[in-house]
Amino acid sequence: MKIKIKYILLIIASCALLLCVFAAGSLFAAPERVWIGDIELASKSELEAGGGTVKYDADKRLLTLTGAEIDGGIRSEGSLNIELRGDSSVAGGKYGVCVLGDLCVFGDGRLDASGKRAGVFATGCFSVSERASLFAEGGKGLKIWGKTHASPFYTVEIKPGKASFRPPYTATLELGYGEPEYLRFKLGDRVERPADPERSGYWFDGWYADPELTLPFDFELGRNEDVTLYAGWIKIVYVAFDSWGGTDVPEAEIAFGDSVPEPPPPEREGYIFEGWYSDSRLTERFDFSKSLTENTALYAKWKKICDAEYRGIDVARYQLDIDWEAVKASGIDFAVIRAGFRGYGAEGTLNADDNFEANISGALQAGLDVGVYFFSQATSVAEAEEEAAFLLGLIDGRELTLPVFMDYEMASDQDGRLLGRLYEAGLSGREHAEICLAFCRAIEKAGYTAMVYTGVDMLSDGLAEALESEGYGVWLANWGVQTRYNGAYSFWQYSSAGKVEGISVQVDMNMRYVTSPGRVTGLKAEALSSQAAEKSARLTWDRVPQAFGYIIYRYDQKAGGYVEYARTRGASATEFIDSQPAEDGRYAVCAVVRQSGTDYRGGLSDAVSLPLK
C-alpha cells in the first residue's frame, strides 16, 4: 500500500512538471532559455517593457527589471535571479513568473506578479532579500516546490490566492560625522533606541526627526516606512586652569556658548590668590559671566605674603656708566652690585668687576639700599672660601644695607649652552650645597648677612634644603611674570631685559620681599669677672636666620621701659659686650631687617637681668 502511494505522488509531480513545460513552450529544445512574454532573451539582452527596461545577463542568470510592465509572464528553463530597481509588474496566463529551478528576488524595488494558477511558480527554492518587495496573486498566489527563504525582518503573508513579502524598513542614523549607519526593523515595529554615539569634543544631545534638530524622534511609534534619525550634538568647550604653582584645579567642560562657573580658589603656601586671568602675562582679569565659544586657558595670579615689596636691579660692568640719581628717581629702591667673579676657564682666575667701585659709590650716594654679589665658579669648599675672602677684600668693611650674595650658577654661551669649569666638574647636589654653605659661613663670620643667588634646577637638587637648614636666604633667578617655584626666597630676579632710567642698556630686574624676622630666643646675660672688665656685661642669643642685624634694648628707669641701646651687624653677630651696664642690668633683643630707611623688627626676646657684683 505504501509503495502504491509513493508511485502515485511521483506520477502527480511528473505531470505538474510537464504541464509547466508545455505552458512555457518547447523548453527542452534550447536548455535554460528565458522568455519575456513571447520574446526569448539572448545571452545579453535589453528591451523596453511598458515604459521600463528589461536587461538579461545569461552568464549570471540575472534578469534586471527597472520600472518594467510585462505582459505574457516571465519564464525560465533554469534557475533565475531577478533584480528589482523601482516598481515593476508582470502578468502571465497561468503564471506571472515560472522558473524551473531556484528563484532569487533581490534589489530595491517592488514586483507585482499575477497568473491564473499562481503569481510565482518555482520548482526549486525561493528567496527574497535586500529591499525587494514581492506581491504574488493567482490560484495559489505563490507556488514553490522547494524551501522559501526571507530575512526575519521581512513581513510575510501567505494566503489562498495571495502572497506578499514586504522588506524591513530602514532607520538611517545621520551621526553628523563620517558615514551614516543603518538599522533594519520589521514593518509596524518601533525603532529601538540606538546606543548613544560618541564624538570627540561633543556631548550627545539625543536623536531628532529633522535635520534642523527641532523635533525629538518618537521611539514609541510603529513605523511602516523608512525613517531618518539625526544625532544632536553639543560642542564642548574646555577650560583649563593653570594654578601656577598652586593646588591643582580640574579642567572644566561646558557647553558651547555657556559661561564657566568660577572654581574654588587654589591654595599656595606663602601666597595670596588674586584671581584668574585670561592671559599668561596676567594683564586681563577673566570675566566669569562671559560666554565661551572656544577652548580657554586661565592663569592664577598670586601675591607673595610679606610685610613689604621693593623694586631693585643688579648690575655689573655690562651696564656701562650708570646715572644713579636717575635710577633712584625712576622708582628703584635697591641695587645689588657685582664686586667680582671667577673666570669659568680651567684656571679659574679671581677678578674684580671693573665698575664695582663706581657703582657701589654711586648707588650709596643716591640713597639706594645696596648689596653685592660675586659670580662663583667654585668647584670645592676651598675655592668657595677663597672667593669669600677675595670678596670681603673688595668690600673692605663697607657698611652695606643688603646682604652679600654668592652667585652660584653654570656659565653659558650666547645660545644658552652650558659650559665652563663648574659645569664640567659634574658635581652632585650635595657637593653644590657644601660649597655654598662654606661661602655663606665665611661671609657671616665677617659680620655680613649671606645669601645665595641661583636657579630653580640647582635649588631643587638639594641646595634649597641645605640653605634653609642653616638659615641662609635665597635670591631666586626665574624669569617670568611670576614664578612657579614654591620654595622659600626673599629676592626674585624676574627679568633680564629691564629698562631703567639712567642705564643705557638692558638690566636685570628684581623684587625684594621683606618679612619681619623671627623672634630672638636664647638670650643670656653674664657679668664678666676679670678685673679689666669687672663692670662689663656680655649678652648672647640664638641666631635668627636672614636677619640683617640685632637691636639691643636696655631698661631705662627714667623712661619707664626698654629703649634701644645698641645694634649689631650681621645675622651671626649674636654677642654684645656692654662696657657700662646699668645698675639693674635688664636687657632684651630683637632681630631687624632694614629697607629704604624702614626697620622691620622681629619679636622682642624675653628679658634677662644681669646679676652685678
pLDDT band, residue 528 (cuts 50/70/90): confident
**What secondary structure letter does DSSP report for 7?**
H
Are 79 and 103 a contacting pair, CB within 8 Å? yes
Whether the predicted pLDDT of 5 surpasses 80 = no
Q: Which is higher by pLDDT, 135 or 581?
A: 135
How much is the pLDDT for 7?
40
For position 433, what pLDDT does the model report? Answer: 98
pTM above 0.85, yes or no: no
How deeply is 453 buried, as exposed, middle or buried, from its count of CB atoms within 10 A (0-12, 13-18, 19+)? Answer: buried
C-alpha cell at 480: 617670568
In angstroms, the Cα distances linking 474 to 56, 67, 470, 485 are 94, 91, 12, 12
C-alpha dihedral (423, 429, 431, 436), degrees to nearest 10: 90
Q: What is the pLDDT of residues 492-524, one digit of tens each?
A: 999 999 999 999 999 999 999 999 999 999 999
The model's pLDDT over 9-51, given as tens digits with 9 standing for 90+, comes to 344 444 444 343 334 444 334 458 999 999 999 999 999 999 9
Q: What is the per-residue pLDDT for 516?
A: 95
Check the CA dihedral 581-582-588-590 and report its sign: negative
3-state secondary structure at position 234: strand
How is domain 169-297 classified at the CATH fold level? Immunoglobulin-like (2.60.40)
pLDDT in tens, 113-152: 999 999 999 999 999 999 999 999 999 999 999 999 999 9
Phi first, then psi, for residue 586 (nearest 5°) are -100, 135
Instruction: Please tell me the class of the 524-609 domain.
Output: mainly beta
Task: Please check the confidence at residue 187 and state whether its pLDDT lies above 80.
Answer: yes
Distance, CA of 108 to CA of 106 (rounded, Å): 7
Domain ranges of the chain: 20-166, 169-297, 308-514, 524-609
Residues comprising the chain, all counted = 613
Query: How big, in percent rounded to 5, are the helix, strand and coil portions of the chain?
Result: 15, 40, 45
Q: What is residue 322's three-state secondary structure?
A: coil
- If you search the block for the grid coordinates 510565482, which residue do you land on? 120
What pLDDT, on a 0 to 100 scale, did the predictor assign at position 294? 97
Cα-Cα-Cα-Cα dihedral sign, residues 266, 464, 305, 509: negative
Q: How confident is the model at residue 584 (pLDDT cuts 50, 70, 90)?
A: confident
Fold of 308-514: TIM Barrel (3.20.20)
Per-position DSSP letters for 411-466, written without gaps between them:
EE-TT--EESHHHHHT--HHHHHHHHHHHHHHHHHTT--EEEEEEHHHIIIIIHHH
In angstroms, rounded to a whole number, what is the distance separating the alpha carbons of residues 338 and 422? 19
Residue type, 329: A
Predicted confidence (pLDDT) per residue in 288-322, tens digit: 999 999 999 999 999 999 999 999 999 999 999 99
142-144 and 103-114 as β-strands: parallel, antiparallel, unpaired? unpaired
Closest CA to 598 of 306, 326, 361, 398: 306
The predicted-structure confidence for 166-184, as pLDDT tens digits, reads as follows 999 999 999 999 999 999 9
Q: What is the mean pLDDT of residues 467-488?
A: 96
Is the pLDDT at 487 greater than 90? The verdict is yes
pLDDT for 612: 53
Q: What is the pLDDT of residue 534?
A: 61
CA–CA separation, 473 and 10 (whole Å): 113
Average pLDDT, the chain: 93
pLDDT at 536 over 90: no
The arithmetic mean of pLDDT across residues 217-246, rounded, is: 97
- The phi, psi pair for 376, rounded to 5°, reads -95, 150
Could you say which DSSP state residue 501 is in? T
Task: State the chain's maximal CA–CA distance in angstroms.
Answer: 156
Query: In 199-329, which ranges are continuous DSSP H helix?
Result: 324-329
Minimum mean pLDDT range among 91-100, 400-409, 460-469, 602-611: 602-611
Confidence band of 361 (pLDDT split at 50, 70, 90) = very high
The mean per-residue pLDDT over the stretch 416-444 comes to: 97
CB 244 within 8 A of CB 482: yes
Does residue 108 have a pLDDT over 50? yes
Task: For residue 527, name the pLDDT band (cuts at 50, 70, 90).
Answer: confident
Residue 588 has pLDDT above 70, yes or no: yes
Q: What is the 3-state secondary structure (H, E, C) of 325-337?
A: HHHHHCCCCEEEE
Average pLDDT over every residue of 416-426? 95
Per the CB < 8 A criterion, the answer to whether 177 and 154 are in contact is no
- Identical fold for domains 169-297 and 524-609, yes or no, is yes
Cell numbers found for residue 90: 508582470
Residue 233 pLDDT > 50? yes
